Amino acid sequence: MINQMSQNENTQNQFSNAIRELQVGKLLRRANITKSCGISAYEVFQFLLLLVFQGKNLFRFLNSKRKDMAVSKNTYYRFLNDTSFNWTRLLLLLSAKVTSAFSALTRPERVKVLEDGIPCQNCAGLCALITAGIFLAQLWRPPKRGFL
């Protein structure tokens, strides 16, 4: 039980760092997802997303011992059902942000040569496939704007 609690806190910390890195608050405002009073839209969205990534259910969480960490269930339902929020735009902006974050991690300069020796006959086909993949990765440049 103690291990599970520390694992949830660790997941929450890593998740908060990822949300901060992706600047989800700015994306929410650009998608017209704001609230006028009470808890901020950013906090509601972060809580709901954290529930999804932890494999939890909102109904069960609101009936658990830790329900004092959450606000009223009506807040969450109104947040999800508001017609003025542009969820499609949020998904588009968030997917573009995640794609650009991953493309920085997979740029061709980061490719390293692992083995310079002559491969044995058993591994020759595998080495040829790896070499072809590295060669194609160096030739292909992703587009500067937009998606694939």
Q: How far apart are CA 141 and CA 131, in angstroms?
A: 17
pLDDT tens for 80-109 read 888 889 889 988 998 888 888 877 777 767
pTM: 0.62
Residue given tokens 């660790």 in the structure block: 10
Q: What is the mean pLDDT of residues 137-146?
A: 54
The pLDDT of residue 3: 44
C-beta of residue 51 within 8 angstroms of C-beta of residue 38: no
